[in-house]
Amino acid sequence: MERPVNTNVDNQSSVRASFTARPPQGETAPSGGSAAHKVASPGTSGSEKRTGAYIALAGPTACGKTAAALAIAHQHELEIISVDSALVYRGMDIGTAKPTADELAAVPHHLINIRDPLQPYSAAEFVSDARALIADITARGKLPLLVGGTLLYFKALFDGLDDMPKADPVIRAALEVEAQTKGWPALHADLAQIDPVTAARLHPADSQRIARALEVFRISGQPLSSFHTIKPVAPHAGSTGARSLNDNKSVADDVLLISLEPLNRAWLHQRIAERFDAMLSGGFLEEVKTLRARGDLRADLPAMRCVGYRQAWEALDRLWPMSELRDKGIIATRQLAKRQITWLRAMPQRRVVICDAPGALDQVLTLARDFVEGRA
């Protein structure tokens, strides 16, 4: 979660701005410290312009992605493409920590507020939208900067998604009936038997993703994890047909992936707690009440299962005392951050910047500048 749009901006600003270094007032001299670690080269050298090249900035929630992105934008002509499965939804501002009006005005942003909470948004749709935006932004002579923490979206863009079966309402309804009888933890255990890779990254109560993984297996006979790599085959009629930006090219050819990762988990946990407190004081619960008052939203919709919203919805449903909302929200956000870091560590092409180290922002700016100038 980044910061809320509306009230208590000063409190949230202090959380966001505390990312190790401040955005520069002018050109920032490269820092020679050890906060950045080269994991893999993003590819070409020389000063020639690379068509379709872009920078990806990823990291766990509350690590300082927004501050870093705005600092990069201070030095380069760019447009930001959001890589966040929650920011796509309209009317969900505080809990998703959408960029402020000033931030949106300072730098063009894309893939924010493009869906009503009733409308799901898939990784395949993201790949299609991101590909079109990257082509358009580069054609206008600007640099695309992809920023966010939805690592499945990044992976889908980098590696592609194989011929993923479309949703089957009959199978999904049957799974819902099974869940009512056995419980989602039991279905999670079933998933672990057929797809241990996917089960290992899902919480036993994550009904949406457990159901999707089981649905894919029952439709195709293959584990969901097997669809997360590219195969050089034409998509069939019942598939999503998602492909990566470069099809079978390596992502390393024209992409710089900067990964903000904390060395000290306590640092990140403190930022998560401060941010959630600021969200609560900024009207987050009232935002969820407004969404509920529409009358057409349900707790099982992907939008309402976003971290924070799910816990607030359950509290308003009196599944547990409202006094527990803060702790449950912070715990869920910590779990999200842990999953995000796990995803990042499976991306060997990333350049790691220790975001709680001195000079981290300078390291990010140096990596971005070197990439733009063709030296990375």
pLDDT: which is higher, 235 or 80? 80
Q: Are the C-beta atoms of 62 and 268 separated by less than 8 Å? A: yes
Contacts of 279 (CB under 8 A, 6+ apart): 1, 4, 12, 94, 95, 97, 308
- What pLDDT digit, counting tens, does each position of 137-165 carry? 999 999 999 999 999 999 999 988 766 78
Instruction: Give the pLDDT mean for 5-21.
Output: 43
pLDDT band at 52 (very low <50, low <70, confident <90, very high): confident
**What pLDDT does 250 receive?**
40
Q: At what angle do helices 207-220 and 169-182 cross, to 10 degrees?
A: 130
| Per-residue pLDDT tens over the stretch 60-106 | 999 999 999 999 999 999 999 999 999 999 999 999 999 988 998 99
Domain 169-227, classified CATH 1.10.20.140, yes or no = yes
Does the pLDDT at position 239 exceed 50? no
pLDDT category of residue 203 using cuts at 50, 70 and 90:
confident
189-203, 220-234, 296-310: the lowest-pLDDT one: 220-234
What is the C-alpha separation between 329 and 285, in angstroms, rounded? 12
The tokens describing 105, both together, are: 């005005």
Residues 98, 82: Cα–Cα separation, whole Å: 10
- Of 351, 258, 269, 253, residue with least CA distance to 58: 258
**CA 285 – CA 288 distance, rounded (Å):** 5
Specify the DSSP element, H or E, that contains 285.
Answer: helix 284-293
Find all residues with CB under 8 Å of 68, minimum gap 6, and list them.
19, 57, 258, 260, 361, 364
- At residue 51, the pLDDT reads 59
Residue 21 pLDDT level (bands cut at 50, 70, 90):
very low
More confident: 32 or 159? 159
Residue of 322, 251, 274, 263 lying closest to 52 (CA atoms): 251
Boundaries of every domain in the chain: 9-162+241-266+339-372, 169-227
Q: What pTM does this model have?
A: 0.74
Mean pLDDT over the full length of the chain: 83
DSSP state of 23: P
Q: What is the spatial distance between Cα 108 and Cα 103, in angstroms, rounded to a whole number?
A: 9
CB 256 within 8 A of CB 154: no
The residue-averaged pLDDT of 227-235 equals 47
pLDDT score recorded for residue 40: 35
- The token pair that represents 240 in the structure block: 């999503």
Report which of 129, 138, 160, 157 is spatially closest to residue 54, judged by C-alpha positions: 138
CA-atom Rg of the chain in angstroms: 20
- CATH for the stretch 9-162+241-266+339-372: 3.40.50.300
CA angle 231/206/160 to nearest 5° reads 15
Residue 208 is predicted with a pLDDT of: 86
Residue 336 φ then ψ, to 5°:
-60, -45
